[in-house]
A = this chain, B = another copy of it.
Amino acid sequence: MDFELSEERRILRDTAARLFRERYPIQARHDFAASDDGFSRALWTDFADLGLIGALVPAEMGGLGGAGVDIMVVMEEVGRGLAVEPFLASAVLGAGLLAEAGTAAQQAQIAEVIAGTRLLAFAHGEPDSRYALSEVRTRAREDAGGWILDGRKSVVLNGDTADALIVSARTGGDAADPDGLSLFLVAGDPEGVTRRGYGTVDGGRAAEIDLVGARVSAETCLGTAGTAYPAIERVIGRGVLALCAEALGIMEVCRDTTLDYLRTRTQFGVPLGKFQALQHRMVDMCLEIEQARSATMLAAGKLDAPRAERERTLSAAKNLIGRVGRLVAEDSIQLHGGIAMTWDYALPHYAKRLTMIDHQLGDADHHLERFIAFSKAA
């Protein structure tokens, strides 16, 4: 057992940290978020050049790392920077699915994703699926050597700008059946595919996607039809870890900002930090963040463990991140008071992103139930 980062990963972390510090002030972030793409293509290329995208993808697939620790190191800095670029959508989920399930031809695209020249998004969630991974009602039926897709995908992260969507659809089984799921790599919006893009509360972008008799070729299917569930679960697991690490980076910024505020803001003639009730809440916040970090490290270390142990540890981390995230978002606003209710202050934007992480890939309660289920299996 060893808790230290290797020299290589320390360099990766410092590289990422420097980039965000120098090129990602909060106003730039607001501008990126408000642009048509909802992020900076220029910076995305720079991230690619520095290896931050590649670090999220397994080496054997052309990436530069892809282990749990790599995801943790990069995504923490993404969180600290409050970055709106599609690290999760394109690199962790998109490239991850190609790596896990794609044919050799499809996997060839991973290089472009890592280079930042091709953007992917995972169109999986549906209006009634909430956080259930196998709850897919979108149907794919074979027709004339290709597939016809019908269904609705909801809140597809960066789904508005992706060059290609990876669409999950049911080729067999019933609504919540893990068997019978397939993935399709759909590029260039064929007829019958409509995307409605919009901004999200945390400064990101997403899209609703309608598939009405959308015809795609046989080659778009990732791997063997009907067997996609294990790949989806593994890649969503990597996504969960990525979100946990992003949340950690955010929580540390919230903590540090609040500590600074308590040190410098005076009320009744003394710094706020002199008030014991606020001190104690601050201490509880700090120790819960350390707890959340520990759970995330554990999940990062178990990313390649057998299924039940892996999923159980991931769900434990996402549950704790959800609980601690709420505490940190709410208490850091409360300890600030009014200033944290204003758009022009950076903290509330961190708090909003932190809160929305609980709405991505399963909230605290979802993962609590999942933890219970996988604990029985373990």
Q: Which of A271-288 contact B (CB under 8 A)?
A: 275-277, 279-280
Query: How far apart are the CA atoms of A279 and B277 in the complex, in Å?
Result: 8
Chain B contacts for A280, CB-based, 8 A: 277
Chain B contacts for A276, CB-based, 8 A: 275-277
Nearest-neighbour CB distance to chain B for A361, whole angstroms, equals 28
Q: Mark A238-277, 1 if CB is under 8 A from B, else 0.
A: 0000000000000000000000000000000000000111
Query: How far apart are the CA atoms of A279 and B275 in the complex, in Å?
Result: 11
- CB closest residue in chain B, given A280: B277
Chain B contacts for A277, CB-based, 8 A: 276-277, 279-280
This chain's copy number in the assembly: 2
Q: Which of A310-359 contact B (CB under 8 A)?
A: none
Nearest-neighbour CB distance to chain B for A368, whole angstroms, equals 16
- CB closest residue in chain B, given A283: B277
Nearest-neighbour CB distance to chain B for A274, whole angstroms, equals 9
Q: Mark A275-309, 1 if CB is under 8 A from B, else 0.
A: 11101100000000000000000000000000000
Query: How far apart are the CA atoms of A351 and B282 in the complex, in Å?
Result: 29
Nearest-neighbour CB distance to chain B for A288, whole angstroms, equals 17
Query: How far apart are the CA atoms of A258 and B277 in the complex, in Å?
Result: 18
Query: How far apart are the CA atoms of A275 and B276 in the complex, in Å?
Result: 7
Nearest-neighbour CB distance to chain B for A126, whole angstroms, equals 28
Chain B contacts for A279, CB-based, 8 A: 277
Query: How far apart are the CA atoms of A280 and B334 in the complex, in Å?
Result: 15
Query: How far apart are the CA atoms of A27 and B248 in the complex, in Å?
Result: 54
- CB closest residue in chain B, given A275: B276
Chain B contacts for A275, CB-based, 8 A: 276
Query: How far apart are the CA atoms of A26 and B69 in the complex, in Å?
Result: 60
Nearest-neighbour CB distance to chain B for A278, whole angstroms, equals 8
- CB closest residue in chain B, given A274: B276
Mark A residues whose CB is within 8 Å of B. Answer: 275-277, 279-280
Closest 6 CB pairs of A and B: A276-B276, A276-B277, A277-B280, A277-B277, A275-B276, A277-B279
Please, could you name 6 A-B residue pairs with CB atoms under 8 Å apart, sorted by A?
A275-B276, A276-B276, A276-B277, A277-B277, A277-B279, A277-B280
